[in-house]
Each structure stands twice: as structure tokens, then as C-alpha cells.
A = this chain, B = another copy of it.
Amino acid sequence: MASNARFAEVASLAGDPARAAMLHALMDGRAFTASELARVARVTPQTASGHLAKMVAANLVQVEPQGRHRYHRLATPAVAQMIESIMQVASSLEMKRAAPVTGPRDAALRAARTCYDHLAGQLGVALADALVAGGYVALTRDAGMVTDAGITLFGEIGIVGMDAAALSAGHGKNGRVLCRPCLDWSERRPHLAGAVGAALCARAFDAGWIRRVEGTRGVTVTAAGRRIFCEGIGMRGFWLD
């Protein structure tokens, strides 16, 4: 059972509050400097540097020097998924214990945020609901599928090339695209993840439907986005309309 030691090593790396805060921040998929991560973790730069060195050594985090800055990002999607699954368990623990004290910061994140490479929060859930209601996507607890109608819709709003990425192993049988559902830790309902979720999120940023809120993982929906999401996809309930 030598692998047990690696398991404990990885988990305990994520188990320190400062490192957990950094990993949490890195969950939006962007890269940050050591000082930025030091701020979010509320430790001094030298402490953060030590933490980051450990996580880089364990291949949780990748570092990319650029001038006098060193940009850190999550090393692999597997790391993001691990963090996601820990958040999952942690949030169910939270519900079990007590109603959490929710600051305005948390409220903004709950409304709309990125989850590594896809959209989450009320926005992510509302989009998934709309896609399911419109017959564009079918979701179960375990998996998801984009229907023919969904492929058409995605093509109309400019999401292409998804099939190739999502069907690597399934070689397009039945002309359907499989995708991954992700239980939202704040909403406790599924949203769209995986290659399809990532493609949708990327397209939304590119087309200016959503914009990042500076300094957080939160996003805001632009007027153009509101039009697409409501009229194009049929999203309801995210705004009070």
C-alpha cells in the first residue's frame, strides 16, 4: 500500500487553510502570481511561496515564469475535479451543521461564477435547467447528453467543434454528444460541465455574454448575454422577470 502515502500527501496538501484558499482561487482556471495568492490566503508572500513550492512539487499546481512574475495555475483538470469533489463533500457538511453566514461576497458568487472551465452558481443551474426543459440536453445524476436539437442550437449560437472533443472515444454513435453534469455546491442542483460546459463557457466569454468580476471567480451577464440566454436558450428565473 505505497500509494496510500501519495493519497495522504495530496489530501493533506489541500487540507491546509492557506493552501485551500489558494486552490479555491485557482479554481477559476486563470493563473495568478504568488503575491496575489498570498493575499487571498491572507498570509505573507514568503509563506505563500513555500506553500506553492510544495504544491508545484506534488504536481497540483503548474508554474510559468514570466519576467519577474511567476504565474501559477492548476496543473491538470484532474486537480480541478478533485477540488470540486472536496467542495461537494464540504458543502454538504455545511448544510448539515448550520445555516452558513453568507456575506455579500458569497451572494455574488452564488449568483454566477466559473468553476474551473465552466459556469456554475444560479446562472449555471438556470442555463442547465433551460437546456433540459427545451429538450436540448438530457441530464442524470451520472451523466448527460446533448440531443440533436441541442447540437443545432449550439451551432446557431456559435459553439462548434464540440463533437470532436467530446466524442473522442464514443465515435459519434447515434449522433449524440455526451457531457458531464456537475452538482453545484451552492445550489445543490446539477449544471453543465465537461467539454460541453467548457465550450459553452468559453463561447460566452468570447462573445461578451458574460464578464469576469475583477478579483473574484464571479461573473456578470451582459445585456447581450441576457438576450442570448433568455431568448436563444430560453432561460428563466435567473432574473426576476
| Interface of A toward B, CB cutoff 8 Å | 1-17, 19-21, 24, 58-60, 76, 78-79, 81-82, 84-94, 96, 100-101, 103, 105-106, 132, 135, 138-145, 147, 166-171, 173-174, 176, 178-180, 183, 185, 190, 193-196
Chain copies in the assembled complex? 2
The answer to whether A94 and B141 touch (CB under 8 A), given A11-B20, A88-B81, A89-B60, is no
CB distance from A89 to the nearest CB of B (A): 5
CB distance from A177 to the nearest CB of B (A): 8
- Do A93 and B143 touch (CB < 8 A)? no
Question: When the two chains form the complex, which single residue of B7, B88, B147, B173 contacts A78, counting CB atoms closer than 8 Å?
Answer: B88
- Do B7 and A106 touch (CB < 8 A)? no
- Do B145 and A143 touch (CB < 8 A)? yes
CB distance from A18 to the nearest CB of B (A): 9
- Do A147 and B174 touch (CB < 8 A)? yes
For A60, list chain B residues within 8 Å (CB). 89
